[in-house]
Structure formats: structure tokens, C-alpha cells
Structure 1
Amino acid sequence: MTALLAWLRRRTGELARFGVVGVAGIVVNLGVFNLLRLGPLGPDAEVAGDDDRVVTAKIIATLTSIAFAWVAHREWTYRGRRRHRPAREAVLFTLVNGAALLIEAGTLAVTHHWWGLTSVLADNIASLVGIGLGTVTRYVGYALLVFDAPTDDAPAPDAPATRDGG
């Protein structure tokens, strides 16, 4: 338990920034999803066929929020971390978010298509559950794969220094 608390103390600023970007990403995700779900990709719309395209709307919304999050995390959340070349970083970021996207869209697909919970409220609740599961996937993936440890073995930005330098 002490190790967990020490880890949390070292990462407080990073976790706070991750959370702020995450909340903004949720607003982007749900905003785009609902605009599409209630508009051009809604059940009664005739864009791209006459099927209910709720999962397509979710995928487009998630991809939009992924693009937003990459810029925000790169320039703010993990600003003190060593970085890969931008192209490699974008590929790793995309792979981590691809896994999270499968989790998010899968959650919505199960509730909407398998369980028959097709109301706007049910779709939004399923979206929020999927976003939560995807967020855990993203944080772990970003920390392990996309953004390396802080440079020069320095503490993460906004983390208090300890006597032993770490």
C-alpha cells in the first residue's frame, strides 16, 4: 500500500492533467456521437443506407476524440517525457487507442445490438461505460508504450522531489 501511495504522489500532476484531457475528450466524444446519432447517422436518417448506424457514429466520435487527445497529451499531459519521433509516437498512440476503441465500440454494440437497449439514454450510458474502460486501457498504454519515463531520471512534472532524487 505504501508503494501505491508513493507512486500516486509522484504522478499526481500527471494524473490530474490526464483527467482534465480525459474529461474534455469525453465532451468531444459524446458531443460528436450525439450529433451523429441524432443527425446524419440516426435511426431515421438515410445517409449511407437505411440501417441504424449507432456503432458507426461511436467509431467516428471516438476517432475524433483520439485526435484531440493526442495533441493535448503530447503538448500538456506528458510534456516532460522523452518522446519517440512523432510518426512512431502517432503509430503507438493509434495502436493503444485502437484497443480502447474496440472496447468502447464493443460495449455499445453489445448493449445496443445484443441486449436490445436502443434508446438514446441507453446508448449514452453504454458509451460512458465504454469510455471508462477505454480510459484505463489508454492510461496504461500511454504510460508503458507511448510516452517514456521523464528525462534524466527527473521526477515527473509537478511531482515533489524526494531525498534520494527520485
Structure 2
Amino acid sequence: MREFAYRRTSRIDEALHLVARHEGARFLAGGTNLVDLMKAGVESPARLVDIRSLTLDEIGETPDGGLVLGATATNSAVAADPRVRGRYPALSQAILLGASGQLRNMATVGGTCCSAPAAPTSPTRRSRATGGFPAADAPRSTGRTTTTRSSGGRGTAWPPTPRTWPCR
């Protein structure tokens, strides 16, 4: 692993400025995927901007009955949230089955969405190392689970569950 600069911030504007100003900078929240890739030499950011202290961990309601999962919400918090368990049980179960408690307690929604390998047929622009994509490049349309530009890449919007779904 090569040397890198590290900066922790609790301000959104500062985090965005630090990443935009430094080529090769990456956000770090849980780091469950990024740190492993750095150890393996697949990723080698010049600077890490630790955003774990940002207050983006809320799980909130949308006016149409959907949910917004904050970028720094942990996967454990999402899986345990009663609204997620009630409206999106497959999401809750997938999180619980997909990783150990240790990983779920560290992994964040933002990291999971932006660093997780994308489907091989995904039309999105993927990063060289992980197959993931930048939050700003996530697909956006009604009726899909997406990372929204309108939230400034701050979270993932889940549309309301259609009344015809058996989990409603």
C-alpha cells in the first residue's frame, strides 16, 4: 500500500472541496471495501477524506411514502429499521445475509452503492477497480431505487412499495 494523505471532516462543503481539489482523492466512511482494495494494490488514492462524522446517517420518509437512506447510514441501521423491514423486507434480509455483523456495522449505504461490483451488463460507467460507479452517475428514474443528484449524492432514494407487491 502506498502512502496517502488523510483528512477527517464533519462538514459537507469541506468534504466536497477536499475531494474536488485533489486528484486521486476518495471518500472514506466505513472503508470495508476500499481499504481491502488498497491493501491489494488495486486502489491507490492519493488522499482519503473521512466522512464518517458527517450527519448523513438519517433514514427518512419521502412525501410519496418511499424512504431515503443517508449515505453514512450503516448497513446494520438500514437492516434493523422497522420501515425497511416492513416495506422492503428483501433489502433487509439481503443486508443481513450478505455480510457479518462486524462488516454491517462499518459498511455504509454510500460505500455499498458506489463501490459494490455492478452487474456485468450494467450500462453505467464503472470504476476500473471495483466495477462500482460514482453516485453522480447512478441511473435516475421513477420507480427505481437510485442515488439521486438532487440529494447531492447524500443518499439513496427508495420509491414507495407498489400496493400490488406482497410485502406491502
Whether the TM-score (by the shorter chain) exceeds 0.5 is no
Q: Choose between structure 1 and 2: higher strand proportion.
A: 2
- The normalised TM-score by structure 1 is 0.26
- The normalised TM-score by structure 2 is 0.26
